[in-house]
Structure 1
């Protein structure tokens, strides 16, 4: 009974990590905060691209560090870097200092992404619960989304009250610091996948083999390339919901007695709270959704089709100036991403070696970062050159094109009869 309680408490701590991690009060105002500092969309795109390139360059080595020096300590260092980044974002208006802060943020992202998922999956395997990967990761991710829903309400209240975006960066450092104490409560057995810390040469060989497998293994190469396209496009475009909401807030005949920043804060709070709550439920039920659609592979194809269709709705909403449809499209994209992410990570984890899990998941996250780094500056430059009322058109067209390519290149899945025949013909040993 005590052992079962201990296992449950550890899942609670995994969920607490996600909840605290997403107390990023600047996230719903990220683009607006940079615009307030005098940056153009193109400069913001370059800054985001710099962040993602930095993450991509650091991703694999930090994953290897996590697999060798200990995954808990990698997570602790990650959140120390976050605290430094958030404080710098809040205190500076210098573009050079913003790049320094973004690099610190990239260090935090690089040490975090892949590492905590590796902790969860290694623990599930040690408990004989490997088949629950999608479900458990979906639950922890749902808590992340609930954390985001609460954080946007807190952030909007602060912006409404102070009419300033600076404080939301400072406040974001607090939950990041609290998460450090959460990691210290994790059992030391979660530091490594095996029984002992690997030697340096063994670690380098493991890093090389794990990285190479991501390119040579067809079963790994496909989901990683899909991550680069799907997550890259979503990551590069999702924050443009913020200026859309700002324009809608300023055009509304309601709350005219309030300042523009206050009206924007209220609308962002409402829309993002809905977005995050729906995302939380979507993530929680990603496992059952994948089972309902057949398996993770089939679910991915359905999601790609829905992805392209949603960008088509965004294009329609932009062309017709029907802002509600455009806003709804961003919300649907966020909901689908929260279904997609656990399914994608499960597909990668199924093909990865347990001892190099953090490295392989870091390669996947690196591919995602590379996608964002390529697309973010492109989107930023395109938006700067579009008429204000049609600024979202490049996002919609590019999203539709990426979805179409993914569907056209998607491998055909075996029918149920073929799959059954294949399994009967294989050697169970």
Structure 2
């Protein structure tokens, strides 16, 4: 975003991913800790088990190791041509990451000589590459906010929330990566890193290899020498055997989200869920309920956290404790919905970014305990079984709560920020 705003020759150097941890011979990572906490609360593991996981989950430096938000954005930005080849999957502590830092000087020189500026590279076509990358790699829902905000910073006005669903309809999930899969992002180095993946996707016609990049070459030229994916590896599935035939990120609409919502549904948890609403006005209240064993494992429940959106949060604070704890506790009868956002490490039946948010009087503000809620990834809908007349009656009685912050920069942010369906950006004029 900063590169797009100042629009001077620039490139991004990604800090790199962390290595996977190991505890008692089993792979662990940051999300394992949150899931283990939930497992402890429901009596599935001991304090000693949790302690071992926490001590071994993060064995060194680097971004969270699955296809969480950082790695999602790094692969997407590499697919946009804004980094050197391999930046997104070169581990943080590897000698190759130091060599990348040294090679950056040569690339910046080329950008200066050829006057290659960020807005020459951040285009509708390169953003499309980023969306394809996110679907193929089973990336984070946070990418929706970030790509929309990047487009806004680059004054690309024909890139919208609907583009995500359009791409999801035609692009499969191929990467078996955590949080819902088997491998860590650092493992991709063993099969040639992200350049090998890009080479495969360009050959398959899913990625546009003709876009320009910071090297002065096209994306296709950048990955020409990358190894081809070995058919015997199972980190990146062939097109003939996808993990999911279409994208896992779904844009939902309905009487609970007339302005849109974002779901992350791989298909492993099913594609439709209906349950009774249990409503919370802040994430801490939900966490307390979960950790006190207050969720019935025998009844389908849709847990709703509201007033956590761009204005209500303010700033959409990341939610991971609740989703991680539910997975660790083995509560597969539960879905989560919110006008806030989730960590990229979250998985399960989750929906975020509900628009309009509760703080501005969106329908989520008048959802009540016991209302039946349906999440449908086939029809891309999010609805409550409440009539239009009843919704209107409830909204007529709703009163906006006092803002959590009433002075300073954060209060100004809450006053000026737009909705999540447009990237939660500030439009001051």
Pair in the same fold by TM > 0.5: no
**Structure with the larger helix share:** 1
> Which of 1 and 2 has higher RCO (CA within 8 Å, sep 6+)?
1
**Structure with the larger strand share:** 2
